[in-house]
Amino acid sequence: MSDKAFWRRALPLLLTLVLATALLGGCRREPDAGIIGGADGSTSILLTPSFDSEQLTELTVVLDWTPNINHSGIYAAQALGYFAEQGLDVSIVQPGDNYALQIVAAGQAEFGVSYQEEVTFARAAGLPVLSLAAVIQHNTSCFAAPAGKSIDSVADFSGNIYGGWGGEVEEELLNYLVEQQGMAEPVEIINIGSADFFTATETTVDFSWIFYGVTGVEAELRGVELDVIYLRDIAPEFDYYTPVIVAEEDWLAANGELAGRFMSALSRGYQYADAEPQAAAALLIQAEAGLDAELVAAGQQWLAGQYQGDAPYWGWQDIEVWQGFADWLYQRGLLAEEFDAAAAFSNDYLPQQ
């Protein structure tokens, strides 16, 4: 059976299980019980202590973009009662016209989803934000091109057209790769903004920068063969954390215990997404009905096991990862001063297992 056919048959069952969980959980009190479907078709009982609504502390987490599989652990923690077990009433919101990091820094949300590059530039500009966890342990982004364009190595970028979003880092990275490879012809860069990857590579550009878990998996479902080059395979400094969970330093100083409870629940949510990708996908789809269910399910399966990866526990961040990428930014003139990477993140709010 093809992956596409499998997900079409599996998704109705998964969604039924999740809806059953919601209904059964609503019928029990002291404590609430929910039946959660496992990836192998098994079920388990989740016991969640009851909290009076007045006992719950309200918190907000703002996403970096529209809901997707990078956020599955957040939705799992909410749906499975992990936040409630910690006495938290968590609202998940989208960023609108602003960046999540700006919203957090302004005190309009306690937590946000950002990425290492954004945190680095924000801190260099004096914004007191701190990364509390790496959502995915290794960079899953890559340069991608339809296989027919024969771009299967960095050297093949020479003379081709790149479609980007106008970021300073992506332009400098491409210039760096041209220099490193000694390419005979430069890479032409066209700003395609948020244009569809498939349409753009069929019409105006040869390759682009994608997250494989979304666009790469979509290509698989469409039957489109891609040549991909992961950034983490180009050089160690490009295996940076994306995305990360952030909070504002002053708020953390005054609410450390509360932050620890939030991160404890979140850690359980992402461990669940790692271990039960089909069920985690169903929870995300139930919460955000407008998503492409087939794409979410296939992407979640592809990402399973990568949230924690080879780290000692979920969310763990390595000083070498932060310092290596920051040093590259400084060497390329994108940071005016050397960066104190150790001050940009903390593992102290994570439940170390």
What is the three-class DSSP state of 208? strand
Ranges of the chain with pLDDT below 70: 1-54, 353
Q: Walk across the sheet containing 88-93 and list its strands.
A: 88-93, 57-62, 111-114, 244-248, 129-134
161 vs 147: CA distance, rounded Å: 15
pTM of the model as a whole: 0.84
Burial zone of 87 (CB within 10 Å; 0-12 exposed, 13-18 middle, 19+ buried) = middle
**pLDDT of 64:** 94
* Strands 161-164 vs 111-114: parallel, antiparallel or unpaired: unpaired
- pLDDT for res 23: 28
Is residue 140 classed exposed, middle or buried when 0-12, 13-18 and 19+ CB atoms within 10 A define those classes? buried
CA angle 345–348–349, rounded 5-degree value: 95
Task: Tell me the β-bridge partners of 35.
Answer: 45
What is the structure's pLDDT at 352?
A: 72
CA distance 209 to 142: 6
Please tell me what DSSP assigns to residue 342.
G
148 Cβ contact list (under 8 Å, min separation 6): none
pLDDT tens digits, one per residue of 34-54: 333 333 333 333 434 445 556
Question: What is the Cβ-side half-sphere exposure of residue 323, based on CA atoms within 13 angstroms?
Answer: 6
Distance CA 234, CA 300 (A): 25
Give the pLDDT score at 94: 93
- 47 strand-pairing partners: 33
Whole-number pLDDT of residue 153: 96
Task: State the alpha helices, DSSP H only, in 32-160.
Answer: 72-79, 82-85, 100-105, 116-124
Nearest alpha-carbon partner for 264 in 94, 85, 101: 85
Tokens 């780290």 locate to: 311
Q: Residue 11: its pLDDT value, please? A: 35
- Please give the Cα distance from 41 to 43 (Å, whole number): 7
pLDDT at position 194 is: 84
Token readout for 229 is: 């080059």
